[in-house]
């Protein structure tokens, strides 16, 4: 650590300890200190600061309120119980055959934004960002009983939204990671739509959530045990969809393979979308579309591998994240 680095860190520490500093601002200063210590190779101090950042942000977001794991589990149970093989047999013609949407899903911080950038670099593919359409419509679609006519009307409205966002495109990417919870509904509504599931090493994924500031009010991102719980629920529901959605409509890729062999995986993605290859997909960092997620600065860089197995640097201080170690790479 050179003297200028030490001086800067000392200044940041003084700011973090200022009593008048609002919780949210203190949390972001703690994130910055975590990044500073990580850049200096002091991963123990980095984790101490990241832990402090999450405490501050959690208090600012939720106060004394606890994340309700029971409600979260019930939502997954509802989807698994109601959208099974029998459901798809009975309502296989309920949706619309349009191929416009391409859904990119996965856990937060798994690489979904990178995939979106690769896809939307293609001349025939537009990007709709993160559309919360299906999570907002689920209750109305099911109501007292599932109504195929209502589903078709809702789906037609969704296609109009995508068409207006990216007029003239053959495909439009809807990249909302948590849409993994709604894939049964999405597949029923749009049986010809492509779904791309991005997977990443469990602990790398959770550690990235822990060490990345996020301004959204997602209630489970600032407590390690809650992140682990949500990750396990994500695995459970994806296992369910995997047995129901055809392989020509569900493509699963691994972040680690993508960053190691980007051309092969990028070509696989474009082929899956049913489009001819476009060399621009090899340079997603040149894609000028706006990115409204914490990955904004990362996707402006050429594809890199340095985020692989990052968790090993923090291994002694992972806390509850070690529960995921036996899962390895999924």
CATH code of residue 145: 3.40.50.300
Residue-by-residue pLDDT tens, the chain, 330 positions: 455 577 788 888 888 888 888 877 889 999 999 999 999 999 999 999 999 999 999 998 888 888 999 999 999 999 999 999 999 999 988 999 999 999 999 999 999 999 999 999 999 999 999 999 999 998 888 877 788 999 999 999 999 999 999 999 999 999 999 999 999 999 999 999 999 999 999 999 999 999 999 878 889 999 999 999 999 999 999 999 999 999 999 999 999 999 999 999 999 999 999 999 999 999 999 887 666 555 555 655 677 777 789 999 999 999 999 999 876 544
Let me know: does 307 contact 208? Beta carbons within 8 Å: yes
Let me know: does 11 contact 33? Beta carbons within 8 Å: no
Q: Distance between CA atoms of 304 and 92, rounded to whole angstroms? A: 41
- The CB-side HSE value for 205 (13 A sphere, CA atoms) comes to 29
Q: Which of 62, 82, 104 is the last residue of a domain?
A: 62
For residues 151 and 28, state if they share a domain: no
For residues 88 and 237, state if they share a domain: yes
For residues 194 and 47, state if they share a domain: no
> 198 by DSSP, 3-state: which?
strand
Let me know: does 195 contact 186? Beta carbons within 8 Å: yes
For residues 160 and 302, state if they share a domain: yes
For residues 163 and 131, state if they share a domain: yes
For residues 213 and 111, state if they share a domain: yes
Q: Distance between CA atoms of 185 and 136, rounded to whole angstroms? A: 12
For residues 202 and 318, state if they share a domain: yes
Let me know: does 245 contact 183? Beta carbons within 8 Å: yes
Q: Distance between CA atoms of 227 and 206, rounded to whole angstroms? A: 7
For residues 107 and 56, state if they share a domain: no
For residues 23 and 85, state if they share a domain: no
Number of domains observed in the structure of the chain: 2
Q: Which of 24, 46, 62 is the last residue of a domain?
A: 62
Long-range contacts of 31-34 (CB under 8 A, 24+ apart): 31/211, 31/212, 31/213, 33/9, 34/211
For residues 311 and 178, state if they share a domain: yes
Write out the residue range of the structural domain in which residue 46 sits.
Answer: 3-62
For residues 111 and 237, state if they share a domain: yes
Q: Which of 24, 43, 62 is the last residue of a domain?
A: 62
Q: Distance between CA atoms of 98 and 217, rounded to whole angstroms? A: 33
Q: Give pLDDT, residue 329.
A: 47
For residues 47 and 95, state if they share a domain: no
């Amino acid at each position: 650590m050179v003297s200028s680095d030490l001086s800067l860190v000392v200044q940041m520490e003084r700011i973090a300890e200022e009593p008048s500093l609002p919780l949210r601002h203190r949390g972001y200063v703690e994130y910055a200190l975590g990044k500073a210590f990580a850049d200096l190779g002091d991963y123990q101090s980095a984790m101490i600061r990241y832990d402090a950042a999450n405490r501050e942000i959690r208090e600012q977001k939720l106060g004394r309120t606890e994340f309700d794991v029971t409600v979260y589990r019930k939502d997954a149970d509802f989807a698994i119980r109601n959208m099974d093989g029998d459901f798809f047999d009975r309502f296989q013609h309920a949706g619309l055959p349009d191929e416009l949407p391409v859904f990119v899903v996965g856990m937060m911080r798994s690489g979904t934004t990178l995939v979106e950038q690769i896809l939307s670099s293609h001349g025939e593919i537009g990007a709709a960002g993160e559309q919360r359409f299906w999570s907002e419509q689920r209750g109305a679609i099911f109501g007292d009983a599932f109504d195929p006519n209502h589903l078709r009307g809702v789906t037609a409205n969704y296609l109009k939204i995508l068409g207006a966002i990216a007029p003239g495109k053959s495909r439009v990417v809807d990249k909302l990671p948590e849409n993994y919870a709604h894939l049964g509904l999405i597949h029923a509504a749009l049986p010809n739509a492509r779904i791309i599931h991005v997977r990443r090493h469990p602990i790398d994924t959770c550690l990235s959530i822990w060490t990345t500031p996020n301004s959204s009010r997602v209630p489970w991102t600032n407590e390690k045990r809650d992140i682990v719980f949500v990750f396990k629920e994500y695995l459970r529901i994806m296992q369910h969809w995997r047995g129901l959605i055809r392989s020509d409509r569900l493509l699963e890729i691994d972040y680690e393979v993508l960053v190691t062999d980007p051309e092969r995986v990028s070509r696989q993605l474009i082929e899956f979308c049913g489009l001819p290859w476009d060399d621009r997909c090899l340079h997603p960092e040149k894609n000028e579309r706006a990115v409204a997620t914490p990955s904004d600065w990362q996707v402006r860089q050429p594809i890199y591998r340095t985020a692989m197995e990052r968790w090993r640097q923090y291994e002694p201080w992972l806390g509850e994240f070690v529960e995921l170690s036996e899962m390895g790479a999924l």
